[in-house]
Structure 1
Amino acid sequence: MYQQFPDPSIVDKSFQEHFDIPNKTMYDIVHDMALLRPSEEALSFLNARMSFRALDRAIDDCAKGLIQMGFKKGDVVAICLPNIPETVVLFYAVNRLGGVSNMIHPLAPAAQVMEIIHETESRFLCFPEIFMKRFAAHVEEHRPGSPLETILVVPMARSGDPLSRMGLYLTKGKKALKRMPKNKHWLLWDEMVKNGKDTPLPAPADDPDRVSVYLHSGGTTAAAKTVMLSDRNFNGIACQIFTALGFPIDAPRPYGESFIAILPLFHGFGLCIGMHAMLVNGAACILVPQFSTKKLAQIIKKQKPTLMAGVPTLFEAVLNDPLMQHVDFSSFKALFCGGDSLTPELKERFDRFLKERGANGRLREGYGLTETVTVCSLTHNASSDRSGIGLPLANTKMKIID
């Protein structure tokens, strides 16, 4: 006798097999949220916070600057940045103008970055000033004869609070910027914004099915490759994922949610779940450029986040650090694990850890791959105590092959 699928005992009320993905671009949906909730917090970074209204304006300012730099619809921008607000702003500015965001690991060797730029025909590259020693000489040497025309440099702590900005500038930034080549091909972020101040903006791009993002797979099961993805690919998951919290897809989005964006934005998991899905649903992104359990403990104590996603090694590190043993997790509604196999033993230990510290949920496991942007199946509320990768998200079909 065949069991009913999906089994009602392992799904929550939000589960549905199909829904219509909004016929909009990624920029459109985030802009809609800025109009709906202008004063709500969108980003948090180094003790500074940015509202949806401020984010929307920063995206427009960046788009104007890109146009002034010579950006044209269809151009590829190599974004080689950690989790900082400028990564978010640049991503949506490129999307607004109909370009392609080419997400590159910021710790990749300069030679590999230039190889990717050649392969993807990227006309623009953006990286933080603290990587100048690693990038500047090699990029400048190999720029002639490459598709690369302009290199945009971002001070790492530009959007942090004044103390953080000054501290990083004096300890690293000032020395790093001395290595920046002095020619027309190199530009600081603030110069870019200033140059574009009076530039008129065209109507936003309106094709959600065009290729808008290049992600580079990790080569887990085969050779690494460049994966081409559309706005609709991202929007589908962004709209689906809040069902994991028990909210039906068509229900109004809740207020007051915040997500610790520790997973890197150059990866589909971090970019879609940690950034786009949160902003689309009105949640704040707490941007963390580099993971440490000390930093994580500080954020949880100070900002009381409600959501977090990580990989198994991150959760193992949390369990093993004595600093985390006295941290209150009661603000959390859901924690997600992906990117690698979660052992039943680790899940059991972490679920017990969460329960002892007052968390309202358990660790929820998912499965995904870069070709699907990120997660494509997830354990639901009612079955999060079981091992496995859960059920396919809406509009997703999976086949098991022996």
Structure 2
Amino acid sequence: MNEQILTNAQLVLRDEVVQGTLVVRDGKIAEISQGKSQLAQADDLGGDFLLPGLVELHTDNQEKYFSPRPKVDWPGHLAMSTHDAQLVAAGITTSFDSVALGDVAGDSIRVEKLDAMIKAIVDSEKNGINRADHLLHLRCEVSYPGLMAFFERYIDVDLVKLVSLMDHAPGQRQFPPENIPKYREYYQGKYGFSDTEIDAFIVEQQANSAKYSDRYRRTICAVCNERGIATASHDDATIEHAKESAELGMQVAEFTTTMEAAKASHDLGLKVLMGAPNVVRGGSHSGNIAAKDLAQAGVLDILSSDYYPSALLQAAFMVAAQDNGYSLADAVALVTANPATASNLFDRGELKAGLRADLVQVRQHEVMPLIQRVWNQGKRVF
């Protein structure tokens, strides 16, 4: 029997923080008690916080390591190793690596690297190379004509535990009709389109959305519901969007762009997910609703680091420090218990007897919370 005793810690439980001791046996949390252990073999945490391992539902952090510069291909196992190391250093012990099935431009790097990324994620997990647990989040661009071929290819991969549905066409969610000028500006800058080319691009994207989006969205949700795979909406902007997502059986509302959509999603039982960088920066980089405003309204359920892993822990502590009704236990749940439950992972996300001993030791510094150690199933990985 492998046993560890972690004592003199501020244990961040689901509903409260208590000074106490946590016992790990054979990779699982065996006992939790208040007070300091007097056993000689106990590991004294010196009053540091002990949190559940962080659960990340939506990160594309790995993309930059597969193609660190334009026209540079990096070996998949090395890309995953770097990505994995960055995650565990940020306290993330479960990561849903998000991969794009289709893009607004058919020949994008995301599409070109898709097979290589999925293979590297699956192989590194299968071969026990990773220190965090890596699962797959399929991001389905429902206005992309070739989406279903990708979806059918990958939906049976064992690591697929979350599927999100998005439509980045002009006039849709992130870019409603009044924001089409911003759409033009963004994609002209990204792809170097001339005025004539961007006009044609907009017409093509709108036609694809009208032809494919609704059918693909409904088909994919039906398949996932049948298989028990969690689904998420993306960039919902209206009450009607939220109602549609709920009717299709979705569990998560990713990056809602307005307060009305966030409130409606939350009231309908969807877990509202926002970006941790949004919290750290004090607002959305694209001008949408600020996560702190959703916390103030009590409708913020999950945080995701998205593109910046270390933002996840920092954002949770920032939410707890704001005057919004979220205690530290509530704020930590945004990055642990809530994302775990929303993705049907019921064996982690809390400090609770019988669950996995995925743990993060955090020391509160006047500047920021500092990670001291990280364990995955009782094994120290950082």
TM-score, L = length of structure 2: 0.28
Pick 1 or 2: higher relative contact order, CA cutoff 8 A, min separation 6. Answer: 2
User: Whose strand proportion is higher, 1 or 2?
Assistant: 2
Please, what TM-score do these two structures have when normalized by structure 1?
0.27
